[in-house]
Amino acid sequence: MSDNADPDFMPEDIDLDRPNAARVYDWLLGGEANWAVDRQFGEQVVQTNPNARTGAMVNREFLGRAVRYCVQQGVTQFLDIGSGVPTVGNVHEVADKVAPDSRCVYVDNEPVAVAHSKILLERHGDPDRHAVLRGDLRDVRGVWKQAMGTGVLDPDRPIALLMVAVLHFIEEGAHEAVAHYRELLPEGSYLVVSHGSYDGIPAEQLAQVERIIQQYQRSSTPVNVRGRDEFTTFFGDFDLVEPGVAWLPEWRPGEGESKATSQFLDNPAASCVLGGVARKA
């Protein structure tokens, strides 16, 4: 996107003085809802880790596989918190291919992500089945009330709650917030999470991760990686789906599109991102 882009993408409270994780991620995936400050930052990240673009796609492919898995289990309602800027393979697009009656509510606190999502859904979505709202993940009651208030989701039926590549941008209150969401989810629901981690990654990647963390400290969205044990606690007493907590390339790589994922199969820890899916019994 040029910096003289469609004003519909320019909310009044957008911060263009510092790069933002949602817009940088969009740039890494080849999107256009980003500005010079984001692109410059993204270039620095790629210089630090030449696999950054591929890694972003690995995370996107995990999202797609997890969505398809949930639909196969009969769950067709999705609450995507920290959804970011829409790009190829959005949750509702993946779900609709398997279940045309699926429903999805997107939530993000980045104004460009929300504005872009609204325009996308107005042009290509179904207002009865798709919605987007702005909210802070940590405001659990507020987010839940707004999401259920859209009328898109039925709180009495299982919901797949997605928190993909978002919790590592929350340092304080993340565990408490996720625990509260787990309580609100009805039985039979699923929790899908991916998260950056340094735990057990190859030495050459560890140095890169540490430098990237330092780079993100200068952005509006500092990153906080967590170890495997701490990451696993996000699932509480939910039943983890096989293969449990795993590096993203190891999570059911044969199910669905996995072109980027296949590049990490020989060294999955090099993805530096853990993921998992768990069911509320």
What are the pLDDT digits (tens) for 15-68?
A: 678 888 888 888 988 888 888 999 998 999 899 888 889 989 999 999 999 999
In the chain, the percentage of residues whose pLDDT exceeds 70 is 93
Helix (H, G, I), strand (E, B) or coil at 46: helix
Q: How many CA atoms lie within 13 A of 38 on its CB side?
A: 25
CA 129 – CA 112 distance, rounded (Å): 22
pLDDT at 10: 56
Per-residue pLDDT band at 6 (split at 50, 70, 90): very low
At the second CATH level, the architecture of 7-279 is: 3-Layer(aba) Sandwich (3.40)
Q: Please tell me whether residue 59 adopts helix, strand or coil conformation.
A: helix
pLDDT band at 7 (very low <50, low <70, confident <90, very high): very low
User: Is the pLDDT higher at 266 or at 208?
Assistant: 266
Rounded to whole angstroms, the Cα distance separating 247 from 272 reads 7
What value does the CA radius of gyration of the chain take, rounded to a whole number of Å?
17
Which pairing describes strands 160-164 and 103-108: parallel, antiparallel, or unpaired? unpaired
Residue with the bigger pLDDT between 89 and 278: it is 278
Which letter, b or e, does each residue of 152-169 get, where b requires 16 or more Cβ atoms within 10 Å of its Cβ? bbeeeebbbbbbbbbbbb
Query: What's the pTM value of the predicted model, to 2 decimals?
Result: 0.90
Q: Please report, for the chain, the start and end positions of each structural domain, with discontinuous segments joined by +.
A: 7-279
Please report the pLDDT score of residue 137 as a whole number: 97
Comparing 206 with 169, the larger pLDDT belongs to: 169
pLDDT digits (tens, 9 = 90+) for 204-223: 778 888 888 888 888 888 88
Which residues are registered as beta bridge partners of 276? 193
Mention every residue, 6+ apart, whose C-beta is less than 8 A from residue 247. 264, 268, 269, 271, 273, 274, 275
Q: Which of 32-46, 170-184, 248-262 has the lowest mean pLDDT?
A: 248-262
pLDDT for res 3: 47
Whether 169 has a pLDDT exceeding 50, the answer reads yes
* pLDDT higher than threshold 60 for residue 141: yes
Type of residue found at 91 = V
Q: Prior bond to 243 cis, omega within 30?
A: yes
Query: Mean pLDDT across the chain, nearest whole number?
Result: 90
pLDDT tens digits along 109-123: 988 889 889 988 998
Beta strands 273-279 and 160-164: pairing type?
unpaired
Q: Which two tokens stand for residue 165?
A: 């590549």
